[in-house]
Amino acid sequence: MAIATLTHLTYWYPGAATPALKDVCLEIDEGLTVVAGESGGGKSTLLRVLNGLVPHFHGGRIAGRAEVLGLDVIATPTRSMARRVGFVFQDPELQTVYNVVDREVAFGLENMAVPRRELAGRVEEALGAAGIADLAGRAVRTLSGGERQRVALASALAMRPRLVVLDEPTSQLDPDGARMVLAAATSLVDEGRSVVISEHRLDDLLQKAAGLVVVERGNVTTADPRGWSGPAPSLRPARVAAAGGEAWALENISAGFDGRLVLDGVDLAGHSGEVVVLSGPNGGGKTTLLRLIAGSLAPLGGDVWRRPGRVAYLPQNPTVLLHRPTVRSEVSFTLERSGEVGRPEKILAELGLLAVADRYPRDLSSGERQRAALAAVLPGSPALVLLDEPTRGIDSSARAALIALVGRLRDRGASVVMATHDDDLRNALADRVIHVSDGKVAEMSFAVAT
Amino acid sequence: MNARAVAAWSACCLFIVLSTTNPIYKVLVLAAALCALAAGAGLRRPRRLLFAVVLIAAFAMVLNFVSAHLGATVLFALPDQIPALGGPYTLEALVFGASGGITIAAAILAAAPFSLLLDSHEVMDALPAPLSRTGVAIASSLNLVPAVATSFVEVTEAQRLRGWRPRGPRSWLEVVVPVVLTSVEGSIQLAESMEARGFGSGARTSMASQAMGRADWLLVAASGLALAGFAIAHAAGWAADWIPYPTLTLPTMNAVPIAACLLLFAPVVVWRSRR
């Protein structure tokens, strides 16, 4: 039975000349439905139609019809849809209203004016359904990313929605956090709810999915989830130059902030023409290690040494970089400031960004923004390349482009250090893998795929 | 700890410190606020705030000393030809400046429990029902403050590595613009999340209990007595104001306003739970 029916639905964001969704005719049945497709293709827009955020929150123009759980989406405001459709967003940090888990989960119920005597019971029920009953009473700021995202899920479940929509809920999480969230989301189907989820980690989900919706450049099609063949693992770029001398070194480093020791007694070095991958749980110290190598963070003790040359650094939240009027000017800015000669179009083409080169970078989808930020930091010939979760939210084709680009920089003699949870990226590029956890580092045995 | 009880105590402190020029009562309020913070949060957690308060108070004192060339007791003088700074420097201006510094310090420390001892949602829950939606909006925006601070660090680091260097006010646009844009986007995403959970549907309920315990009532009673006592003393002329100009004199004291100020030390007895 269909829970959502979209009929010839076309949607334009405010000021956009081309529609983000084009003449969509779609039926979503009960159970688990997976939404897949390239970044920037329109997945998030489609999901937001299901609870009316598109068009009611985002504005713009809409044509056609959308009916979800018997409600006309175009005529029903999101705040009314919220009683039937729960929504979980990508970034767990940007959907928290209160500082305490119970209050956060109760937020939607308070908005619906559920009597106070019922709130505690409903919150307890929602926490149980999300598998986080033990987090009751905890301060949100003390939770890991995976726990926060499950609090967001519980917040949606508290309103007892028939449909739960999740927009790339694991894109910011480490593998353990992602597993926790996906397990909680899929268990909802066993409880009789319907779930629509957009994800890049498709393997496990597709085994349980009743439907698969593919969104590409605003066009929406359906496919058999069992017959869907995901992208092939990325190929390891052939090495054309051997690794060279030492490019950076940390000697007996301790580092931390706010009175907390994050790294303690770390000795580590990297070479030119080498790719070092940092793995480990969120909060383990990977970002601190990258900032130390970059020279952005002064160590509390020990020495940091770096070979002279330009440092290209992609921060964990790369979009904070973007402030120029176009993607092209972001690249030009870095080239000019670093005194390097080059055309922005080269790296834009490599990362598949030529089509959006003249667009305002913050108007792009999250995956496109990630690529724009990569283009902004990686043009020219940096001596040291430091990337913090470079594949966050990007699709397989963008990952392949990044792998080729990093391989080229490595062969030119750049020393590359990446913090990543992405197994495909690690397998394609890593020469060494360093596990960073609880303030310590340890080299992991790692077989290079051939 | 109930936010409404804290609000009653803070309001009373502010009333006394702002309604008198007598430095004795101001110092008593300052001491009460310091002791209350120490009782509720210890001295380690508010150390940055205390440092800032000392700086601000010192600045207020120096500013008055430098700018108010009034009073009979001249400590030294600079030539009148020096713009702004020229003229006599007096003991009266220095002492009056110190009194102003104490006023500012006491006012800041009296309001500090709201940020140091209470979560933002506890403060907003204490607002009257007609303001509850506004309160939620403010509470949620306060949640974004740490994210803005993190963005500032991230942007500054990343821009430095892209070749940016601070060269005058205009160069800071390359840091400030991304920070502001990121903050605005964060606010929009939070608003979207709130909308998706029915915010703005109409009248709200609240999970928070506004019931006050015995300690909260004790604090409210002490604050109320202090306020009434000081107001009566002020009206009756027992809490006389103090003007150091033109010649410095000692401020007068009276038992009733002093007793009112001593009641403000009540948090030392009732705040022991959030160290």
Is B200 in Cβ contact with A97 (below 8 Å)?
no
Q: What is the pLDDT of residue A46?
A: 96
| Tens digit of pLDDT at every position of chain A (450 positions) | 799 999 999 999 998 889 999 999 999 999 999 999 888 889 999 999 999 999 999 999 999 999 999 999 999 999 899 999 999 998 887 888 888 899 999 999 999 999 999 999 999 999 988 888 999 988 887 787 778 888 999 999 999 999 999 998 887 777 777 888 888 888 889 888 999 999 877 877 888 899 999 999 999 999 998 887 767 777 888 888 888 899 999 999 999 876 778 899 999 999 999 999 999 887 788 989 999 999 989 999 999 999 999 999 998 877 788 889 999 999 999 999 888 888 999 999 999 999 999 999 988 888 888 999 999 999 989 999 999 989 887 888 888 999 999 999 999 999 999 999 888 899 999 999 999 988 899 988 776 655
Q: Which of B121, B152, B162 to mutate to test the interface with A (most CBs of A within 10 A)?
A: B162
For residue A168 the two structure tokens come to 């790339």
Q: Which of B170, B197, B204, B209 to mutate to test the interface with A (most CBs of A within 10 A)?
A: B197
Instruction: For residue A131, give the 3-state DSSP assignment.
Output: coil
At B135-153, the pLDDT tens digits run: 777 767 766 677 788 788 8
Rounded Cα gap, residues B18 and B13, in angstroms = 8
Question: Do residues B139 and A289 touch, judged by C-beta distance below 8 A?
Answer: no
Question: Do residues B219 and B7 touch, judged by C-beta distance below 8 A?
Answer: no
For residue A327 the two structure tokens come to 């993607």
Rounded Cα gap, residues A283 and A17, in angstroms = 42
Q: What is the pLDDT of residue A230?
A: 67
Question: A320, A331, A412, A339: which is closest to A379 by C-alpha?
Answer: A331
Distance from the Cα of B174 to chain A's closest Cα (Å) equals 7
Domains of chain A: 2-223 (3.40.50.300), 246-444 (3.40.50.300)
Is B160 in Cβ contact with A321 (below 8 Å)?
no
For residue A121 the two structure tokens come to 């019971």
Annotated domain spans of chain B: 1-126+210-275, 131-201
Enumerate the β-bridge partners of residue A34.
A197, A212
Distance from the Cα of B144 to chain A's closest Cα (Å) equals 8
B275 pLDDT tier (thresholds 50, 70, 90): very low
A91 contacts in B (CB within 8 Å)?
189
Q: What is the pLDDT of residue A207?
A: 85
Is A322 in Cβ contact with B158 (below 8 Å)?
no
Q: What is the pLDDT of residue A76?
A: 94
Is A119 in Cβ contact with B207 (below 8 Å)?
yes
Is A319 in Cβ contact with B182 (below 8 Å)?
yes
Residue among A93, A103, A338 minimizing CB distance to B121: A103
B24 inside 8 A of chain A by CB: no
Distance from the Cα of A147 to chain B's closest Cα (Å) equals 17
Is B190 in Cβ contact with A116 (below 8 Å)?
no
Q: What is the pLDDT of residue A447?
A: 67
Residue among B119, B189, B206 minimizing CB distance to A110: B206
Q: Taking each helix axis as running N to C, give the angle between helix B173-196 and helix B132-143, from 0 to 180 degrees, rounded to the nearest 10.
A: 130
Is B178 in Cβ contact with A322 (below 8 Å)?
yes
Chains A and B form CB pairs within 8 A to the count of 160
Question: How high is the ipTM of this complex?
Answer: 0.83
B165 inside 8 A of chain A by CB: no
pTM: 0.76
